[in-house]
Amino acid sequence: MRRTLHAEWTKLRTVPGTGRLLLAVIVLTAAVSAAAAATVSCRPVGCDHDVPKLSLMGVQVGQAAVAILAVLAISGEYGGGMIRTTLAAMPRRSHVLAAKAAILTGLTTAAGTVAVLVSVLGGRLILPGNGFTPAHGHPPLSLADGPTLRAAAGSVLYLALIALLSLGVATAVRDSAAAIGVVFGLLYVLSVLPFMISDPDWQRFLWRLSPMNAGLAIQSTTNLSALPLAPWAGLGVLAAWAAAVLLVGGLALRLRDA
């Protein structure tokens, strides 16, 4: 397994787009989070914004770069025919997929950690100037605060799970464009579907089913009783999606010819 991990690490780090996509995760997440913090204000009478979630808004955009990176990690090999060489050198296909998943998880976790820390720092610096002050019930953002730490750490885990979900889709679909389309559909289309239906029971059901809505519940720190799912339960839904799709992708990799 060590040899397989080393081979997958070598392949992924030498692909020209890997570094740019990891940088895009950081830049997009931090920039959109800063923009969200800069455009929201708290009136003198007070406000009820979820400040940690507001400061981590960029995760919704940064995940797109994570998904593209994960898709290209395997679909690029199918497109160029390198997958045949990979499987000839490492015939245990489950080990190949596990190694890709491990390397992707490590890289995404590293980039996600930087992105989240920069986003929290940006919120800490920007939001007080927009009225989010202790006098209005909003102390400065700090990872020493339990809910804020949970939202930040959960956001990193969320990005890592998005990478695994995307890898599973790409392994099953093989084609880069089709796989990216499927992943974006699962994330963004399913996330807005509950708001297009008037029945509240169906809204709640579809919200719980959506990997993006459920997973991002981990960022919520206020009005938790109003959420369709508790924060960790929501992240569990995303983890179940990632595990199921990876299982399907692993079976497809094992049963189909390269």
Task: Compute the distance between CA of residue 205 and CA of residue 165 in angstroms, rounded to an integer.
Answer: 21
Task: Compute the distance between CA of residue 255 and CA of residue 250 in angstroms, rounded to an integer.
Answer: 9
What's the confidence (pLDDT) of residue 87?
64
pTM of the shown model = 0.92
What's the confidence (pLDDT) of residue 101?
93
What's the confidence (pLDDT) of residue 114?
98
Task: Compute the distance between CA of residue 255 and CA of residue 246 in angstroms, rounded to an integer.
Answer: 14
The DSSP 8-state label assigned to residue 221 in this structure reads: -
3-state secondary structure of 25: helix
Closest residue by Cα to residue 161 from 213, 215, 210, 208: 215
Closest residue by Cα to residue 105 from 253, 243, 254: 243
What's the confidence (pLDDT) of residue 221?
92
What's the confidence (pLDDT) of residue 146?
92
pLDDT values of the chain reduced to their tens digit, one per residue, 258 residues: 777 777 667 777 777 788 899 999 999 999 999 999 999 888 776 688 889 999 999 999 999 999 999 998 888 776 666 666 666 666 677 777 888 899 999 999 999 999 999 999 999 999 998 888 887 778 888 899 999 999 999 999 999 999 999 999 999 998 889 999 999 999 999 999 988 888 888 999 999 999 999 999 999 998 888 899 999 999 999 999 999 999 999 898 787 665
Is 46:136 a contact under the CB 8 Å cutoff?
Answer: yes
What's the confidence (pLDDT) of residue 135?
77
DSSP string, 5-20: HHHHHHHHHHSHHHHH
DSSP string, 145-201: SHHHHHHHHHHHHHHHHHHHHHHHHHHHH--HHHHHHHHHIIIIIHHHGGGG---HH
Closest residue by Cα to residue 102 from 255, 252, 254, 246: 246
The domain spans of the chain are: 2-255
Helix axes 82-89, 59-80, angle to 10 degrees: 80
Q: Cβ atoms within 10 A of the Cβ of 229, count?
A: 20
**Looking up tokens 């992240």, which residue turns up?**
235
Task: Compute the distance between CA of residue 132 and CA of residue 140 in angstroms, rounded to an integer.
Answer: 8
What's the confidence (pLDDT) of residue 56?
97
**Looking up tokens 């089709």, which residue turns up?**
178
Closest residue by Cα to residue 158 from 99, 97, 116, 188: 116
What's the confidence (pLDDT) of residue 46?
64
What's the confidence (pLDDT) of residue 1?
72
